[in-house]
């Protein structure tokens, strides 16, 4: 790749991640690289084309991270609950507020680019989730009273659009948001046996979740914390 084009991509990627897609202009990128807009247009026809190439780089980074999670899913020594928690740990370690903001901006301001990118990943992700859910059902940890395809789509949606939306709208950090989604999804996906295993093994690691509102209520105290509680009972046939 041409050195100037590489510099443009590297600089744009840094600026987009730091300041957001909408805030960064072509002029900003040109000033950072010390080139004219005429030179910029020799490599990119418009800002959207630059965004798509930066997105390709970000998707490749995500692909490498997903390979780590897939290795967890393929580990025969782990049950479905352990795989879920370990996958979340990797997610917390690998995610950053900047990368999540990038995808939030992409979804909000450049929906066509976002949709094209997500279509390429959706089917593989869904199949991996379905395989994990089936393992959990076979082990007696995950609910068998809900269609596996429905659970897979729900889970995929939570960690696609929902996670990105939460990061974009709440100033509570990636780590806290991921922990919240772990806890809420466990409560939806697992049965009583699975929740009991999750609580007994991981309660010390995830003892409580902070409330963003600070209000009391069911499962919380005046400190604004959500505490562990018994899961709903699922009467499976």
Question: Each residue of 24-61: pLDDT tens digit?
Answer: 999 999 999 999 999 999 999 999 999 999 998 887 87
Beta-strand (E) ranges in the chain? Answer: 208-210, 225-227
In a domain, 230, yes or no: no
Alpha carbon 13 to chain centroid distance?
19
What domain range includes position 38? Answer: 1-45
Q: What confidence score (pLDDT) does residue 70 get?
A: 67
Q: What confidence score (pLDDT) does residue 137 get?
A: 96
Q: Are residue 36 and residue 122 in the same domain, yes or no? A: no
Cα angle 229, 93, 17 (rounded to 5 degrees) comes to 115
Q: What confidence score (pLDDT) does residue 228 get?
A: 40
Q: Which residues of the chain have pLDDT under 70?
A: 1, 65-66, 68-70, 94-98, 100, 120-121, 160, 164, 167-172, 206-237
In a domain, 234, yes or no: no
Q: What confidence score (pLDDT) does residue 232 get?
A: 46
Q: What confidence score (pLDDT) does residue 206 get?
A: 62
Q: How far apart are alpha carbons 36 and 49 in whole angstroms?
A: 17
Decide the pairing of beta strands 225-227 and 208-210. antiparallel
Q: What confidence score (pLDDT) does residue 32 get?
A: 97
pLDDT tens-digit profile of 141-151?
999 998 999 99
In a domain, 99, yes or no: yes
- Which CATH number characterizes residue 87's domain? 1.10.357.10
In a domain, 231, yes or no: no
Overall number of domains in the chain: 2
Q: What confidence score (pLDDT) does residue 115 get?
A: 82
- Both tokens of residue 151? 């659970």
Q: What confidence score (pLDDT) does residue 79 get?
A: 96
Q: Are 127 and 133 in contact (CB under 8 A)?
A: no
Write the DSSP string, 117-138: HHHHHHHHHHHHHHHHHHHHHH
- Which CATH number characterizes residue 9's domain? 1.10.10.60
In a domain, 8, yes or no: yes
Q: Are residue 21 and residue 105 in the same domain, yes or no? A: no
Q: Are 16 and 29 in contact (CB under 8 A)?
A: no
DSSP state at residue 110: -
Q: What confidence score (pLDDT) does residue 82 get?
A: 94
In a domain, 85, yes or no: yes
Q: What confidence score (pLDDT) does residue 221 get?
A: 39
The CA–CA distances, whole Å, from 88 to 134, 176, 177, 180 equal 19, 11, 11, 11
Q: Are residue 78 and residue 169 in the same domain, yes or no? A: yes
Q: Match 């309660």 to its residue by tokens.
A: 203
Q: Are residue 116 and residue 15 in the same domain, yes or no? A: no
């Amino acid at each position: 790749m041409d050195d100037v084009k590489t510099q443009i991509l590297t600089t744009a990627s840094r600026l987009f991640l730091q300041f957001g897609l909408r805030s960064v202009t072509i002029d900003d990128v040109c000033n950072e690289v010390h080139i004219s807009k005429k030179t910029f247009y020799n490599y990119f026809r418009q800002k959207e084309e630059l965004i798509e190439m930066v997105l390709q780089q970000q998707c490749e980074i995500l692909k490498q991270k997903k390979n780590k999670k897939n290795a967890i899913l393929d580990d025969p020594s782990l049950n479905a609950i352990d795989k879920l928690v370990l996958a979340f740990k990797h997610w917390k370690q690998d995610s950053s507020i900047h990368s999540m903001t990038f995808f939030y901006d992409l979804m909000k301001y450049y929906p066509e680019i976002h949709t094209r990118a997500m279509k390429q990943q959706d089917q593989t992700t869904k199949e991996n989730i379905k395989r994990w859910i089936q393992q959990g059902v076979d082990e007696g940890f995950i609910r068998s009273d809900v269609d596996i395809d429905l659970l897979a789509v729900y889970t995929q949606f939570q960690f696609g659009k929902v996670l990105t939306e939460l990061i974009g709208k709440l100033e509570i950090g990636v780590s806290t948001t991921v922990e919240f989604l772990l806890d809420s999804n466990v409560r939806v996906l697992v049965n009583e046996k699975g929740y009991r295993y999750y609580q007994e093994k991981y309660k010390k690691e995830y003892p409580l979740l902070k409330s963003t509102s600070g209000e009391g209520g069911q499962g919380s105290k005046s400190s604004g914390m959500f505490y562990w509680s018994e899961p709903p009972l699922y009467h499976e046939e």
